Amino acid sequence: MQWETQPAKAPGISGERRGDRRYALQLELRWKLIRRRRVLDTGTGHTLDLSSSGILLNAGRHLPEGLNLELSVSWPVLLHNVAPLQLTVSGRIVRSEGSLAAIQMVQHEFRTAGILSEQRAPVAPSAPAPNNLLTRVIAIDAFGKPL
């Protein structure tokens, strides 16, 4: 019987320990540092990479570990080729070094952002309301009786 001369490494201790695949995407974001439901600080930055469970970001300044962070990430794809999307994330800062911070996501969702006026399709003007309808609404008292 042969024995290995080197001890076997425990799985997950060395090498890549992340459970989810990371994607190197640099996306603009806004952040809010939260403690006990109060906003302590805000700023802008960008993502370095993200996965379904975490984000590594450059916040532009040091963020303390253990506090909560809310992010609004500008997503690079338009909904129906018209409406800009934002990825809204809340999570806990698990690592911080210099201006880089890693957060573990607790909750995330996509939201639509406002459409710039020059991107909107022109809206057909609606027919004006007849004057007699407006007169009738105004001419009724608080008890619903005509005046």
pLDDT (tens digit per residue) in 85-107? 999 999 999 999 999 999 999 99
**Hunting for tokens 């997950």 — which residue is that?**
12
Instruction: Name all domains of the chain by residue range, CATH numbers in brackets.
Output: 28-115 (2.40.10)
Burial 34-46 (b: 16+ CB within 10 A, else e): beeeeeeeeeebe
Q: Tell me the average pLDDT of the chain.
A: 78
pLDDT at 121: 55
pTM score over 0.95: no
Is the pLDDT score of 76 beyond 50? Answer: yes
Q: Per residue in 23-56, pLDDT tens?
A: 999 999 999 999 998 999 999 999 999 999 999 9
